C-alpha cells in the first residue's frame, strides 16, 4: 500500500501497471478519502529534434556518421598534425561548407518543428474549474481537467466525452489528421451523468497510453450520496482523440485522460524508416573504387620516393636536419604516405553530397509546381513528402496498387438489390434474369417479385442497420417530412432525382463509410426514408408516409475480422429484431442454408460485373435471448482486460441462425484514365499487382476494366475454392497447384529474347495470377519450414512470369508481406505502392517508393507516403516523365563528379614523377579549395535540375523509353569505366600537353621562363574549361540559366585568377604563390595556343561521337520522324546502345 501511494505521489513507473486512475475535475472520490493527485505528463507536444544547447554537438555527431564527412575530417586532422604539402584550409574549407550547408538546412527544418510545437502548445483552450470557465494554454492542461471544445475546434488532448450540446448525447468528429478518414464519426457521452459537471464526483479507470487509435478500454465510477458507485463502460466511442475536429455539434465537455506525448496522436508520431535509393548505393560503390585508387596512388608514390632517394644523393639545398635524420624510418614512411593521401584526397568528391542534396531538394519543387498534377475538384496538386527518392521514380519495376479509391473513385452509387432471389433494379429497360425477363421499375411494378412484407423488411433493414446520421439543419423535422410528401410518388416510389441524389443544403447524411450512405439513398429510391436518430430512437418514413420509430438497443460494430455489422432494435409493438449486413463470405455461414443458393447467384453475378456486394439478414429475438445478449454485451463492455475478444465472442454468438433476406449491389466507378494509365505503365515494363480486401469477382472485373487482364489472358487461380476441389487436403492441393502453374507459366513459357527485360508482349501466351488472403497465408507460413521456403519461391516465379497479379481478400499486414516478399526477391527489384486509405499505409511504408492518392478515404496514406497525387492518372507522368528525367539527371551528375575529380587529381599524381616525389602541389591552394565549391559546381547543378534529353511529350507518348534506363542502366560498371577512362584520357592530355609546351623554356617575349606555378595554372585553366565545356556538349535542353551558369563560371574563374594574383595584402603575402602569374601567363601567345589546342583535343572525340554517330535503339526512328533528332542524341543513345 505504501509503495502504491509513493508511486502515485512521485509518478512511479506506469509501465508496471496495466491501468491508471483519473479523478474527474481533481476531486477526491469517494469524498471522505484523502486526495493524492497522481503525477502524469503535461500537455506539451515536442516534435522537434534539437534544442539550442544540444544542436551543435548532436548535429555534428549525426553528420560525421557519414563516411565521406568522417573521411575528410580525418584528412583535415592529418593536415593539421602532420607536415603536409597542402594547407589544412584546402580540405577544411570544403568540409566546413558541406557541414554548414547541411546544418543550416536541418536547423531550419527543426526551427519549423519548434514553431509548429509552439503554436500547438500556446493555443488557448477553455477549462472548467470550480464551475468557472477559464482560458489557459493547451500546454497547461492536466489529466483530470474538464475541457470545453466548440464546433470546428481541435481537441487539445485525448478526452472522454461527458456532455454534448446535441439532445441525443452524441457528437460528430473528423479524424483526417489521425487516421486519414475524412468521413464524420459519431461519439457518445457517458450515460446518466449530472447536467452540471461541477457536481460530478467520479473516477475513470482506463488502460495505460497505447498507440492503437481504434482501441480504448476503461470504466467510469460515479459516486452519488454515499451509495455504491454506478459503473459505466468506456470504449473508443467515448474517446475524443487529440488532433480530431468537432463537427456539426455546437460544443462538448470532456475530461482529459491522456495528455502531451502520451496522447494517441503523439504515440503514433514516428519518423518513417529512412529509404535509400539505388543511386546512393551506386555512389558508395564508386567511392570505394576511388578510395582504392587514392590509396594505390599514395602507396606507389611513397614506395617510389624511397626508391628514388636510394638512387640519388641528397641535394645540397634540401639537406635533412638532425631531427629528421633521427626520426624512425617507418614512422617517416607512414607520415609520407599520409602526406600523399592528403595531396591526392580531392579525388573523393565531398561536395558531390551537397550538390546531390540540393538537386533533390530543389528538384522536388518541379513535381509540386507541375500544373498537370493540379486537380480542380479538390483544388490541390502533387505533394512531395521526401525528396530523397526522386530518381527512384525512374527505376520502378513492380507497382502494388489498392483497388477501392485508387483504381476506382470510391464514389458509391446504389445500383440494384436482390430480395428473396428477385432482382430489383431502379430505372428503365429490361434485363435477362435467370431465364426469365423482368421489367425494371418501381417495386410493385415488377412482374416477378418477392412478397410485399419481405420487401419492406429488407428496406427497413437498409434504413436501420447502419451508423448514418442526419446532418443538423435549420429546417424542422416535420418540414422535412412535408417536403418528402410533396415529391412525386409513383406507386410508393419517389422518382424525384433532385431529392434522391440530394444537392439541397437543408439536409445531408454523415457516415464513416460512403457505402452506408449509398445504401440509405438506395432505400429512399424504393420509398423508405431514414429520418435520423433522436435520443436512441431511429425514425424512418415508410411508403405509406407513416413515421416508424424503433428504439436502438445495441450496435454491434463492424470489424475487419467479422466483416459484418448489426443493430438490435425494438419496434413500437415490442418486437426485438436483429438486422445484420456484411460480406457474403462472412454472412453465408451465419444464416440458414436453404436461403443461400437463391441469393448467391445474384451476388456472384453482381461481383462479376464489378459491383460491391453486401448481404442482408435478420433475426427475431425473444425476451430471454435478448436479456442474455444484453447482459453479455454489458459485461463484455465493462471488462478492462481482453474486451475486444469478449465482445467478439458475444457478437458471433448473437449473429447466428439468421434469415437471409437479400443482397445489395453498389457501384464504385473506375478512376479517370485508369485503363490508359495501366496500359502505359505495363508498356514501360512495370508489372502491376492489385492488392485489395474486396472479393475476388469484384476485383477481377475491375482488372478486366483496367486492361490488366485481357480477353486472351489465362487466369491461374489459387484461392480457397480451388484448394478445396479434388477432395484432398489443402496442403497437398496447394503443392499440386503451385507445381502445375509453375510448369505452365515458367517452365513451358517461350524464352524471352536477349536484351528485353520484364517484357511479356513477345510471349506467346499471357497469364494472370489470382490469390486470396487465406491461400497466401498458407504460402507464406506453411507448417514445415522447407515447404514454406519452396512455396514462396514457386509463388514468386509464377507471379514474375504473369502479366498481372490480383491478390484479393487481403488484410493490411498481408499487403505489406507481399511487397516485402517481392522487394527482397532475387535482383532486389524496385517496388512502388500506391493507395488512398489507412489500410494501405503498411504497404506504402514497406515499398521502396510510396504514393498516396488524395482520395475520399482521408489523408493517412498521403501523410505516410513519399509522394502524393490527386488522381491515379497522374502516376503516368510522375513515373514516365519526372522519374525518367530525375534518374538521368542525377546519374549524369554522379558520373560527372567522379570524372571531373579524376581529371583534377591525375595531373597532380603525374607531377610527382617529375619532382622527385617531394609532395610538391601542382595547383595553388586557392585552386584546390575553389575547384569543387565555385568553379565547377553550378553548371552541373543547373544541368541536374533542368536537363531534358528527351522532351516530356515524347516520354509520355513512348512509354517503352522507360525501359532504356531500367535496372540502374546509367550507373552500371560499364558506363562508370567509360567515364573513368575519359577522365584518365583528359588528365593525360592536360599534363603532357602542357609539358610539351614547356619543352621550350622561353615562352615570353622577353625570354623569361615560366615556373612550376605557371605550369600548374595552365593545366588548371585547361582543366576548368574542358570539364565545363564537356557538360555544355552533353546539355540538350538549353535555358538562360544554363547559359548563365556555364559561361558565368568560366568568367568567374578568369576574374578570380586575375584578382587572386593581384593581392599583396599582408595576411595573404605568406601564402601568395600566384602573384601576377595568371596575367603573365596570358601575355604569352604560346600559352594561349596550347590552352585552346588542348581543350579542342580533349573534346574532339566527344564532338565526333555526337556528330557522326547515328541514333540507335528501338525508338530512334520514331524520334527522328517526329523532328526530335536532338532528343535521339540523348544520353541514352549517346553513352550506351539499346539492344533490340
Residues marked as catalytic? 402
Q: How far is CA 844 from the centre of its chain?
A: 5
Centre a 10 Å sphere on the Cβ of residue 812 and count the other Cβ atoms it contains: 18
Whole-number Cα distances in Å, 323 to 43, 310, 316, 318, 921: 67, 20, 17, 14, 24
d(CA 771, CA 689): 11
- Please count the residues of the chain: 1140
Cell numbers placing 523: 432505400
Residue 933 in contact with residue 355, Cβ under 8 Å?
Answer: no
As a whole number of Å, the end-to-end CA separation of the chain is 82
Query: Which sign, positive or negative, has the C-alpha torsion 108, 113, 115, 116?
Result: positive
Strands (DSSP E) along 557-655, which ranges?
564-570, 576-582, 611-621
* Of 718, 720, 745, 884, residue with least CA distance to 802: 745
Residue 567 in contact with residue 556, Cβ under 8 Å?
Answer: yes
* Of 834, 961, 827, residue with least CA distance to 887: 961
* Of 368, 389, 357, residue with least CA distance to 941: 357
Cell numbers placing 447: 412482374
Helices 785-800 and 812-823: crossing angle in degrees, nearest 10, is 80
Centre a 10 Å sphere on the Cβ of residue 89 and count the other Cβ atoms it contains: 16
Residue 135 in contact with residue 124, Cβ under 8 Å?
Answer: yes
Transcribe 874-889 into DSSP letters: HHHHIIIIIIHHHHHH
d(CA 1081, CA 1087): 6
Strands (DSSP E) along 780-837, which ranges?
804-808, 831-835
DSSP assignment, residue 451?
A: -
d(CA 20, CA 535): 32
Radius of gyration, CA atoms only, the chain: 37
* Of 833, 878, 836, 873, residue with least CA distance to 853: 836
In the chain, what is the greatest distance between 2 CA atoms, to the nearest angstrom?
A: 122
Cell numbers placing 123: 493555443
| Phi-psi region at 611: left, alpha or beta (left = phi > 0; alpha = psi -120 to 50) | beta
* Of 451, 457, 417, residue with least CA distance to 617: 457
Environment class of 552 (CB within 10 Å of its CB; exposed 0-12, middle 13-18, buried 19+): middle
Whether the link from the prior residue into 30 is cis, omega within 30° of 0, is yes
| Phi-psi region at 403: left, alpha or beta (left = phi > 0; alpha = psi -120 to 50) | alpha
Environment class of 516 (CB within 10 Å of its CB; exposed 0-12, middle 13-18, buried 19+): buried
Centre a 10 Å sphere on the Cβ of residue 648 and count the other Cβ atoms it contains: 16
Residue 616 in contact with residue 698, Cβ under 8 Å?
Answer: no
* Of 1030, 772, 1001, residue with least CA distance to 895: 1030
Residue 107 in contact with residue 362, Cβ under 8 Å?
Answer: no
d(CA 529, CA 265): 38
> Grid coordinates 418540414 are at which residue?
479
Amino acid at each position: 500500500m505504501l509503495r502504491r501511494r509513493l508511486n502515485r505521489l512521485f509518478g512511479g513507473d506506469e509501465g508496471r501497471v496495466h491501468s491508471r486512475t483519473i479523478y474527474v475535475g481533481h476531486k477526491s472520490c469517494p469524498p471522505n478519502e484523502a486526495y493524492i493527485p497522481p503525477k502524469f505528463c503535461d500537455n506539451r507536444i515536442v516534435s522537434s529534434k534539437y534544442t539550442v544547447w544540444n544542436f551543435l554537438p548532436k548535429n555534428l555527431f549525426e553528420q560525421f556518421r557519414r563516411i565521406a564527412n568522417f573521411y575528410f575530417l580525418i584528412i583535415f586532422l592529418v593536415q593539421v598534425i602532420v607536415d603536409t604539402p597542402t594547407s589544412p584550409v584546402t580540405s577544411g574549407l570544403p568540409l566546413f561548407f558541406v557541414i554548414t550547408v547541411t546544418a543550416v538546412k536541418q536547423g531550419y527544418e527543426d526551427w519549423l518543428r519548434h514553431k509548429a510545437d509552439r503554436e500547438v502548445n500556446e493555443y488557448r483552450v477553455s477549462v472548467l474549474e470550480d464551475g468557472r470557465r477559464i482560458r489557459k494554454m493547451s500546454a497547461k492542461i492536466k489529466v483530470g481537467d474538464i475541457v470545453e471544445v466548440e464546433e470546428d475546434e481541435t481537441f487539445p488532448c485525448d478526452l472522454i466525452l461527458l456532455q454534448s450540446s446535441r439532445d441525443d448525447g452524441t457528437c460528430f468528429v473528423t479524424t483526417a489528421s489521425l487516421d486519414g478518414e475524412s468521413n464524420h464519426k459519431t461519439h457518445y457521452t457517458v450515460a446518466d451523468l449530472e447536467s452540471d459537471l461541477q457536481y460530478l464526483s467520479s473516477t475513470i479507470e482506463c488502460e495505460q497510453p497505447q498507440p492503437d487509435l481504434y482501441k480504448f478500454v476503461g470504466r467510469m465510477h460515479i459516486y452519488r450520496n454515499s451509495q455504491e458507485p454506478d459503473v459505466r463502460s468506456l470504449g473508443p466511442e467515448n474517446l475524443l482523440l487529440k488532433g480530431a475536429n468537432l463537427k456539426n455539434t455546437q460544443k462538448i465537455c470532456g475530461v482529459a485522460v491522456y495528455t502531451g506525448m502520451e496522447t494517441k496522436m503523439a504515440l503514433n508520431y514516428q519518423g518513417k524508416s529512412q529509404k535509400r535509393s539505388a543511386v546512393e548505393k551506386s555512389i558508395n560503390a564508386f567511392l570505394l573504387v576511388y578510395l582504392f585508387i587514392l590509396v594505390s596512388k599514395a602507396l606507389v608514390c611513397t614506395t617510389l620516393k624511397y626508391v628514388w632517394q636510394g638512387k640519388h644523393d641528397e641535394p645540397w639545398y634540401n639537406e635533412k636536419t638532425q631531427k629528421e635524420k633521427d626520426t624512425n624510418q617507418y614512422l617517416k614512411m607512414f607520415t609520407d604516405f599520409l602526406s600523399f593521401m592528403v595531396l591526392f584526397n580531392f579525388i573523393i568528391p565531398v561536395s558531390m553530397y551537397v550538390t546531390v542534396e540540393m538537386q533533390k531538394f530543389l528538384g522536388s519543387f518541379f513535381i509540386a509546381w507541375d500544373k498537370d498534377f493540379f486537380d480542380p475538384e479538390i483544388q490541390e496538386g502533387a505533394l512531395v513528402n521526401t525528396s530523397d527518392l526522386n530518381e527512384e521514380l525512374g527505376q520502378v519495376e513492380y507497382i502494388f496498387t489498392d483497388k477501392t479509391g485508387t483504381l476506382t473513385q470510391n464514389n458509391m452509387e446504389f445500383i440494384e438489390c436482390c430480395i428473396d432471389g428477385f432482382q430489383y433494379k431502379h430505372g428503365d429497360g429490361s434485363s435477362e434474369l435467370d431465364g426469365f425477363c423482368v421489367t425494371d421499375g418501381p417495386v410493385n411494378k415488377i412482374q416477378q417479385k418477392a412478397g410485399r412484407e419481405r420487401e419492406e423488411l429488407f428496406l427497413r433493414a437498409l434504413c436501420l442497420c447502419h451508423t448514418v446520421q442526419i446532418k443538423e439543419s435549420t429546417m424542422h423535422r416535420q418540414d422535412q417530412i412535408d417536403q418528402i410528401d410533396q415529391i412525386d410518388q409513383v406507386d410508393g416510389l419517389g422518382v424525384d432525382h433532385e431529392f434522391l441524389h440530394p444537392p439541397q443544403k437543408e439536409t445531408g447524411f454523415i457516415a464513416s463509410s460512403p457505402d452506408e450512405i449509398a445504401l440509405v439513398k438506395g432505400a429512399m429510391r424504393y420509398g423508405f426514408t431514414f429520418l435520423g436518430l433522436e435520443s436512441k430512437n431511429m425514425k424512418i418514413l415508410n411508403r405509406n408516409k407513416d413515421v416508424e420509430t424503433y428504439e436502438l438497443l445495441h450496435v454491434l460494430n463492424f470489424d475487419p475480422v467479422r466483416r459484418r455489422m448489426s443493430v438490435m432494435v425494438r419496434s413500437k409493438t415490442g418486437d426485438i429484431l436483429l438486422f445484420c449486413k456484411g460480406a457474403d463470405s462472412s454472412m453465408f455461414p451465419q444464416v440458414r442454408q436453404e436461403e443461400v443458393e437463391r441469393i448467391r447467384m445474384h451476388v456472384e453475378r453482381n461481383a462479376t460485373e464489378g459491383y460491391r456486394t453486401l448481404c442482408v439478414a435478420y433475426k427475431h429475438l425473444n425476451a430471454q435471448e435478448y436479456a442474455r445478449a444484453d447482459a453479455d454485451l454489458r459485461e463484455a463492455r465493462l471488462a478492462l482486460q481482453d474486451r475486444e475478444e469478449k465482445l467478439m465472442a458475444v457478437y458471433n454468438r448473437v449473429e447466428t441462425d439468421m434469415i437471409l433476406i437479400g443482397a445489395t449491389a453498389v457501384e464504385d466507378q473506375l478512376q479517370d484514365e485508369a485503363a490508359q494509365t495501366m496500359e502505359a505503365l505495363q508498356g514501360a515494363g512495370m508489372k502491376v499487382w492489385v492488392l485489395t480486401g474486396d472479393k475476388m469477382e469484384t476485383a477481377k472485373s475491375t482488372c478486366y476494366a483496367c486492361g490488366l487482364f485481357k480477353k486472351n489472358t489465362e487466369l491461374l487461380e489459387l484461392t480457397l475454392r480451388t484448394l478445396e476441389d479434388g477432395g484432398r487436403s489443402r496442403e497437398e492441393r496447394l503443392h499440386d497447384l503451385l507445381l502445375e502453374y509453375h510448369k505452365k507459366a515458367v517452365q513451358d513459357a517461350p524464352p524471352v529474347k536477349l536484351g528485353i527485360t520484364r517484357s511479356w508482349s513477345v510471349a506467346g501466351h499471357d497469364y494472370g495470377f489470382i490469390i486470396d488472403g487465406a491461400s497466401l497465408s498458407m504460402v507464406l507460413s506453411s507448417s514445415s519450414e522447407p515447404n514454406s521456403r519452396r512455396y514462396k519461391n514457386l509463388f514468386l516465379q509464377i507471379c514474375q512470369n504473369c502479366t498481372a497479379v490480383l491478390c484479393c481478400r487481403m488484410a493490411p499486414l498481408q499487403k505489406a508481406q507481399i511487397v516485402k516478399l517481392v522487394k527482397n526477391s532475387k535482383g532486389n527489384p524496385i517496388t512502388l505502392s500506391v493507395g488512398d486509405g489507412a489500410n494501405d499505409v503498411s504497404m506504402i511504408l514497406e515499398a521502396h517508393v510510396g504514393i498516396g492518392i488524395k482520395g475520399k478515404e482521408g489523408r493517412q496514406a498521403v501523410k505516410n507516403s513519399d509522394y502524393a497525387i490527386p488522381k491515379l492518372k497522374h502516376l503516368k507522368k510522375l513515373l514516365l516523365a519526372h522519374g525518367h528525367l530525375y534518374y538521368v539527371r542525377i546519374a549524369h551528375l554522379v558520373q560527372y563528379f567522379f570524372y571531373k575529380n579524376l581529371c583534377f587529381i591525375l595531373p597532380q599524381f603525374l607531377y610527382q614523377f617529375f619532382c622527385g616525389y617531394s609532395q610538391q602541389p601542382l595547383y595553388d591552394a586557392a585552386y584546390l579549395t575553389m575547384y569543387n565549391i565555385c568553379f565547377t559546381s553550378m553548371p552541373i547543378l543547373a544541368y541536374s535540375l533542368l536537363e531534358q534529353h528527351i522532351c516530356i511529350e515524347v516520354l509520355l507518348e513512348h512509354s517503352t523509353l522507360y525501359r532504356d534506363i531500367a535496372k540502374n542502366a546509367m550507373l552500371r560498371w560499364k558506363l562508370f569505366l567509360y567515364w573513368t577512362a575519359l577522365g584518365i584520357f583528359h588528365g593525360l592530355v592536360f599534363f603532357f600537353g602542357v609539358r610539351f609546351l614547356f619543352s621550350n623554356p622561353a615562352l615570353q617575349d622577353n625570354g623569361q621562363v615560366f615556373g612550376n606555378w605557371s605550369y600548374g595554372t595552365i593545366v588548371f585553366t585547361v582543366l576548368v574549361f574542358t570539364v565545363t565545356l564537356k557538360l555544355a556538349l552533353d546539355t540538350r535542353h538549353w535555358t538562360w540559366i544554363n547559359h548563365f551558369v556555364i559561361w558565368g563560371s568560366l568568367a568567374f574563374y578568369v576574374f578570380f585568377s586575375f584578382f587572386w594574383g593581384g593581392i599583396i595584402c599582408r595576411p595573404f603575402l605568406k601564402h601568395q604563390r600566384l602573384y601576377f602569374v595568371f596575367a603573365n601567363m596570358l601575355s604569352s601567345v604560346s600559352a594561349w595556343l596550347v590552352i585552346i589546342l588542348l581543350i579542342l583535343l580533349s573534346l574532339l572525340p566527344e564532338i565526333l561521337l555526337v556528330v557522326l554517330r547515328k541514333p540507335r535503339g528501338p525508338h530512334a526512328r520514331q524520334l527522328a520522324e517526329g523532328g526530335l533528332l536532338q532528343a535521339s542524341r540523348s544520353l541514352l543513345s549517346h553513352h550506351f546502345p539499346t539492344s533490340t
